[in-house]
Structure 1
Amino acid sequence: MAVLLLLGFALVRVAGVVFGGGESTSTATATGREEAKDEEKPDARPKPTELPGGGRRIFPDRRVVAFYGNPADEELGALGIGTPDQAAAKLKKVAKSYERKSRPVLPCLELITTVAAAAPGDDGKYRIQVPEKTIDKYYRAARKSGSLLLLDVQPGIATFPEEVRRLKKWLVKPDVGLALDPEWRIQPGQVPGKVIGSVTAEEVNNVSIDLAALVKERNLPEKLFVIHQFTNDMIKNKRQVKLRKGLATVFNVDGFGLPAAKISKYKDFTAATPKGAHDGFKVFFREDTNRMRPAAVMALQPRPDLVVYE
């Protein structure tokens, strides 16, 4: 998020079907019709899978506590400090403070998979795509530690659907979610870090409709879907963002500073959260002044379903 400006912009950084590639269901022969009928039978669907720790529903059964970042630089967030396994172990220690008997914690590694950049790059998109082997490494750490992996996207002048499309191989897994970072969604002629980006509800909906379809087709458990925000206009027409069955949609309130300012912003933004969506709150280890402790975070109203540490 805004902490990327500290890197001297070395690493600051359309709509349509996101995943594509639908299978043909056209059949002309009796045999083909029989096969189509078989495909419609419930037992022909993939067997249901569960979330880490069991169950198929995230909220309100669990509270998610996440580390955000990327290994390219520690300034990108807590997740990039140390090895993936070390970050996962530290996360579990932090998450314990949010554990309640009635509501256990689900740890989450939020990896920036597309990092907005100050330079246009070969394709002029002002973003760097993290290598697949890096994503695989963090996925293994997440699975080993019983955590979710949350794939975060900072698209530059690419669109969210464009960037999400390449992530399908991980999003088909039951323990992988998706996060959109509109701060870094800019327009042609703009440079990440010099302007604050934004996203329309329409573009968010174009991503979520295909993500929800993926959940249904693969018989996946509820999938975490996060949209970050720290200005009022970062999500255009926020109330028009559609909530999809199979997605645990969270609007995460970002921004660092003093507790009073963070709490005030949280109250303002959560008042505009669409009914049925969930609220999240971000804590900065380095940039926050008088960093809020877990007890203070849990005292927020509404109490956040997602807590992210950067």
Structure 2
Amino acid sequence: MRRVCGAVAVVLLALAACSDKPASTDAPPSTAPAAGTPATSPSPSPIPAPPPAGNDLPRGGRVIFPKYQLVAYVGLPGSPALGPLDKDLDAKAARLEKLARSYAAGRTPLPVMELITVVAKGSRGKDGLYRGRIGDARIAEYLTVARKHKMLLLLDIQPGRAKILPEVKRLERWLKEPDVGLAFDPEWAVGPNQVPGRVFGHTTGAELDSIAAYLSGLVRANGLPEKVFVFHQLSARIVTNEQALRKHPGVVTIKSVDGIGNRADKLKTWAKLTTKLPPAVHAGFKLFYTEDTRHGPLMTPAQVLTLRPRPELVVYE
């Protein structure tokens, strides 16, 4: 278990920097919540102009797999510790495009911008839910760039003490868009007496299934192409009864295996979390620019593509 140095209230940013031991996939989450509460827009911002592809996927068609290979950057505005998408979005999109091409391996690259829209916090906040939300204006900014570069946008939720499904439904105006999907970080979904970053959060297969069912309803009601739903997992304890997660029409569900550390440790976590995937779930793999490279070089695209099952989504944070 990691040892957190100093006062937790002040040092929740970058827990890994305070550790005197190598990262373990059984430690509390290492990518800590950003300090402060993101600003919330006082009124809804207009959704950017419709995507060039109309009601299809950004690069054509209405079905994700097996045509496309997804490669993502994750981030939060103004928080470089949480991934590359903190600023300079056009430049980052160009880098992501180049990176995605290195993962093609017989598929069409489809880059993804994963925006942390609800961020877990180490302080209560006004509503006591230990999470902050970014405003609609920020989401619109990221969606504008994603559409300019024909990329998908995923809205990532770290709910803190908030219930996940209400947080998802709050984003419905965005999720009705054909190029906007959802990501859920259950390690930041804590109980009523817990604090994000001090303990693992958790979810259940039934809870994930309820989210997928809700997204399927949006796809059906709005004539949308397949919608991506990602749930992140870095330890087996984070998701219980995963087999309750079923296939829902119009929803592509992906488990992103978020093991942290050297290559050997990441491969052990990968094997543990992908050997019994439910039939409805595709495999994804996450690389951490900071945490992983404390233990050796970052895995290359060629190395990632040797994994079985094939990671159909590769995420960089």
Q: TM-score higher than 0.5 here?
A: yes
Structure 2 SS opposite 1:273: coil
The aligned length equals 273
- Corresponding position of 1:23: none
- Corresponding position of 1:274: 278
Deviation at 1:54, TM superposition (A): 0.3
- Corresponding position of 2:307: 300
Q: Equivalents in 2 of 1:184, 1:55: separation in Å?
A: 34
Q: Is the 8 A contact 1:255 1:282 kept in 2?
A: yes
After the TM superposition, which residues 152-191 of structure 1 pair with which residues of structure 2 at under 5 Å, given as runs?
A: 152-191=156-195
After the TM superposition, which residues 156-305 of structure 1 pair with which residues of structure 2 at under 5 Å, given as runs?
A: 156-288=160-292, 289-305=296-312
Deviation at 1:276, TM superposition (A): 3.4
For the structure 1 residues 10 and 181, does the alpha-carbon distance in structure 2 shift closer, same or farther, using more than 3 Å as the test?
A: closer
For the structure 1 residues 233 and 10, does the alpha-carbon distance in structure 2 shift closer, same or farther, using more than 3 Å as the test?
A: closer
Which has a greater percent of helix? Answer: 1
- Corresponding position of 1:97: 102
Matching residue within 134, 137, 154 for 2:138? 134
Unaligned runs of 5+ in 1: 14-47
Structure 2 SS opposite 1:151: strand
Deviates more, 1:3-12 or 1:199-208: 3-12
Q: Equivalents in 2 of 1:117, 1:3: separation in Å?
A: 9
Unaligned runs of 5+ in 2: 1-11, 19-31, 37-53
Q: Equivalents in 2 of 1:219, 1:106: separation in Å?
A: 21
Q: Equivalents in 1 of 2:17, 2:291: separation in Å?
A: 14
Amino acid at match of 1:217: A
Q: TM-score, with normalisation over the residues of structure 2?
A: 0.82
Deviation at 1:11, TM superposition (A): 2.1
- Corresponding position of 1:11: 34
Q: Is the 8 A contact 1:4 1:12 kept in 2?
A: no
- Corresponding position of 1:85: 90
Which deviations, in whole Å up to 9, do the C-alpha atoms of 1:201-256 show, x marking residues without a partner? Answer: 22212211111000011110000011110111211111111221100110110022
Deviation at 1:4, TM superposition (A): 4.6
Aligned-residue identity in percent:
44
Q: Equivalents in 1 of 2:118, 2:15: separation in Å?
A: 16
Q: TM-score, with normalisation over the residues of structure 1?
A: 0.84
Amino acid at match of 1:5: L
Deviates more, 1:273-282 or 1:120-129: 273-282
Q: Equivalents in 1 of 2:200, 2:75: separation in Å?
A: 19
Structure 1 SS opposite 2:112: strand
For the structure 1 residues 255 and 94, does the alpha-carbon distance in structure 2 shift closer, same or farther, using more than 3 Å as the test?
A: same
Divergent runs of 4+, >4 A: 6-10
Amino acid at match of 2:209: N
Q: Is the 8 A contact 1:153 1:181 kept in 2?
A: yes
Amino acid at match of 1:290: P
Matching residue within 72, 79, 93 for 1:73? 79
Structure 2 SS opposite 1:165: helix
Q: Equivalents in 2 of 1:106, 1:3: separation in Å?
A: 31
For the structure 1 residues 292 and 223, does the alpha-carbon distance in structure 2 shift closer, same or farther, using more than 3 Å as the test?
A: same
Deviates more, 1:216-225 or 1:83-92: 83-92
For the structure 1 residues 291 and 70, does the alpha-carbon distance in structure 2 shift closer, same or farther, using more than 3 Å as the test?
A: same
